[in-house]
Amino acid sequence: MVRLRTRDGRRTFVFTDFINNVMNTTAHTLTPEYKSIKIAIWLYFLLWIFEGALRKWILPGLATPLLIVRDPIAIYIIFRAFYLGVKFVNVYVILSSFFTLLSLVITFTFGHENMFVGVYGARIMLLHFPLIFVIGAVFTKEDILKMGRVMLAITIAMTVIIYFQFISPQTAYINTGLGGEGSAGFDGAMGYFRPSGTFSFTTGLSSYYILASVFVFYFWLSKEACSKILLISSTIALIIALPLTVSRTAVLGVLLVGFFAFLGSSTSIKSIFRLALTIAVIGVLFAVLQKTTTVFNLGTEVFMSRVDTANGQKGGSIIQRSIDGFTEPFTTLLNAPLFEGNLGMGTNAGAQLLTGKRSFLVSEGELNRVGGEQGLILGGGLIVLRLVFACGLFFSSLKLPGKFKLLPLTFCGTALFLITQGQWAQPSMLGCSVIASGLLVASLNVNTKRE
């Protein structure tokens, strides 16, 4: 027992209870109280990557039910977070839930009135969007880096898979489509198709490599522990994979991540030197692969042909498409009714339930879909909310002290695009958006607590 006598000597304060309270609080903080949530988040993460494999190769007969395989996990995470008192409910969660629930009521009352389509559309903001803040609240920096190391290892295996998908005919088993029927490849160039990897569609593969590049850049630029063999191997795998994806989005997305990594690392002479060394290593690897690897040369040729072909088409420039993705929704909203009862109709699954075929009944563009499903008031509110959320994350990352900027700013290279332009109606893209944004929020919370 520790006692402290006051100056007048008349009263004694016993520190035993105080110390015990502090120790109990610390122990409570250090105990694995969030272990169950973290395990569920890891399961959500793995199912994001391998959901397509389940639907194409392992359980093709359950391809349709597996479309929502992560939804029960999302429900568990949310209820478990409430039970454990995780502070994840904020103005973004409250407003997005309010807009979505009101839109669901309008859909059932004055809209298409299909309960399954409406609920399927509502689950995006009611179940998956809040997970961003749960991940941000419970993940530590070591959790983030563990997930990063796992992604580096998976990147190597993923590149092997898309190599065989790229060189194999579309009739090969490895290119089997959803439900074990047709082909999962998407038209590319020169007779070659865009592979899908373990995902159901090529957009999922592109988003995966962009997120994986965050950890490739981060581990090269930081002093965090990572096996050099793993890091070099995954870097080579990423460089080989980019042309094989035949995806302009993947290549430009990785370059964008590199740009944000540059912003986050240019804080001192030492960090600039490390950045220059990283660029030199990647450049050397690219040159060596270009001279020694036939499939890399072929992939590069096919990719450049795809770029030339797409740029020659109307609105084919990916930069123009990105600009239009921001401007068109506001033009469309001005001509939209105040309220729309089309919740869920903009998803392919919703379109199939309503019409019997997969199509874009509202819009392929994400923000256009949101506005077209919910109208000027509710759809416009969700669009503004997502844009404000993205801007807030970016400025919060910029305000951090120099030595803490690298990880969150590198995440900004992919998360900001996914929040504002990511096709959340597509399950793989939605999963990537949740993971990338959640890890960004976690990296900000870790650094804020540290400060």
- Give residue-wise pLDDT tens across range 422-440: 999 999 999 999 999 999 9
Mean pLDDT of 47-76: 93
7 in a structural domain: no
Is residue 344 predicted with pLDDT exceeding 80? yes
- Residue 297 contacts residue 240 (beta carbons within 8 Å): no
Mean pLDDT of 229-240: 94
Lowest mean pLDDT among 60-64, 264-268, 342-346, 351-355: 264-268
Is residue 20 predicted with pLDDT exceeding 50? no
10 in a structural domain: no
Q: pTM for this one?
A: 0.88
Is residue 173 predicted with pLDDT exceeding 70? yes
Is residue 11 predicted with pLDDT exceeding 50? no
* Integer angstrom CA distances of residue 217 from 51, 140, 210, 212, 269: 26, 20, 11, 9, 18
85 in a structural domain: yes
Number of domains in the chain: 1
79 in a structural domain: yes
431 in a structural domain: yes
- Residue type (1 letter), 231: L
140: number of Cβ within 10 Å: 14
26 in a structural domain: no
Distance, CA of 4 to CA of 361 (rounded, Å) = 74
Mean pLDDT of 127-148: 96
Is residue 3 predicted with pLDDT exceeding 60? no
Distance, CA of 409 to CA of 422 (rounded, Å) = 18
**Position 448 confidence tier, pLDDT thresholds 50, 70, 90:** low
Give the 3-state secondary structure of residue 401.
coil
389 in a structural domain: yes
Distance, CA of 428 to CA of 49 (rounded, Å) = 8
Mean pLDDT of 393-399: 93
- Phi, then psi, of 257 in degrees rounded to 5: -60, -40
14 in a structural domain: no
Residue 10: Cβ-neighbour burial (10 angstroms; 0-12, 13-18, 19+): exposed
The domain containing residue 86 runs over which residues? 36-450
